[in-house]
A and B are shown apart, each in its own frame.
Chain A
Amino acid sequence: MSLQTPRILPSHLHAFHPSGASSNTVRILGTVTALHGSTGTLTCGNNGDVTLILKSDARLQVGKLVEVVGKVADLEGGQGYGIRVLGSTEWGDPADCDYKIYEHVVNATHKFKPIFYE
């Protein structure tokens, strides 16, 4: 079985935490709203923010829509969950994406696991 990367929203992070889940590599879509050195903030529509733990060669730009593939990890200082970025795809202007469709995709993919993730 090849590696699967379920699409998620910030509220699903806990389900993919390394302590419980068998796989903790996920895909998440959002707008980069802040960058502070080795971390960044990804805003996922009206679904909240996720802290990204960046690689040194990450080339993210504030204000762009990106799809991130990464591993769910604990943040330093017990600040909850974040995503350690493994790769990212830039999709340009967030206004060109209807985030509602993505929310439906996340719902559908988790509801009908036999054709997506299992």
Chain B
Amino acid sequence: MDGNYNNYNSFGGGGGGFMPGETNSPAGGKTGDRDNKTLRPVTVKQVLDASQPFPEAPFQVDGADVANVLFMGQVRNISSQSTNVTYKIDDGTGEIEVKKWVDSTTADNMDTDDGKAPGDGKSELQLNGYARVFGSIKSFGNKRYIGAHSVRPLSNINELHTHLLEATAVHLFFTRGPPGGAAAGGNAGGADAVMGGADDYGSGQNKALASMSLVAKKIYNLLKTEPQDDTGLHMQVIASKLNMPATEVARAGEELLGAGVIFSTMDEQTWAILEY
């Protein structure tokens, strides 16, 4: 599965090399595999508004890298070519072109249309009917389009509506932090700063945290909520609790240490929250 997936990843999969300036990106810069495999529910408008920190970089929505996106909309145009089918999809928030490459080999087991040859899906899609699309954001010249992995007809209207709500929920997650009282509160993208979030930090720390990466906020939150003794938590414990690679935790930890929000206790890798 992993290998398969990488083939679809337009950015070459994996974390890639270090790029100057990347560490400043709100999503934490060099994202690990974990972040690169996400499938985000979005609106077409979000795709059109997605930013690219530098050419060839992964697109960002709400300050977080996106590899794959999922959206639903009406098919406004279908144009079949020998190598691909191009659809124009309109979801009420905007319009975008979606290219689905015609796969001559039948090995595409992501297509679960029972017994039908891949690429056959287009015959089921009707003009002005609804489709659900998942793929990755690409650009060619100044034009943005979707390299689709799957374009399928949508038959249940509830699915369309819940998708729009899901896209909203994910947008809020990235701009305001996780839901609940102990929310990380900070703002990953800077888009919705006015709406704020749960304000449960000391005022000074809050400011420092606001500009930090999502991982750093998660670590801070864990240190705040997890039962522990005076010596705090070891990096490895944090990594396993957050289910993240240790390297990522280490980097975010340095960010927190540097800002003076946490301090090391027994050794360099054991941290506790610095409370005034």
Contacts and interface: CB of A to CB of B under 8 A. Distances in A.
Interface of A: 1-7, 27, 29, 65, 67, 87, 89, 91, 96-98, 101-102, 104-105, 108-109, 112, 114-118
Given A114-B192, A116-B93, A89 B161 contact: no
Interface residues of B, number: 27
A41 B157 CA distance: 21
Interface in B154-175: 156-158, 161-162, 164-165, 167-168, 171-172
B202 interface: no
A26 B165 CA distance: 19
Contact of B92 (A5, A96, A108, A118): A5
A105 B72 CA distance: 14
Contact of B171 (A3, A89, A101, A112): A112
Contacts of B179: none
B265 interface: no
Contacts of A105: 161, 164-165
24 contacts: A2-B48, A2-B94, A2-B95, A3-B90, A3-B95, A4-B45, A4-B92, A5-B90, A87-B128, A89-B129, A96-B157, A97-B158, A98-B161, A105-B164, A105-B165, A108-B164, A108-B165, A108-B168, A109-B164, A112-B168, A114-B171, A115-B168, A117-B92, A117-B93
Contacts of B46: 115
A4 B49 CA distance: 14
Shortest beta-carbon contacts, A-B, top 10: A2-B95, A101-B161, A5-B92, A108-B168, A91-B157, A105-B161, A2-B94, A105-B164, A97-B157, A116-B93
A115 B170 CA distance: 11
Contacts of A2: 48, 90, 94-95
Interface in B126-140: 128-130
Given A87-B128, A102-B161, A116-B43, A27 B156 contact: no
Interface in B37-76: 42-43, 45-46, 48, 74
Contacts of B162: 101
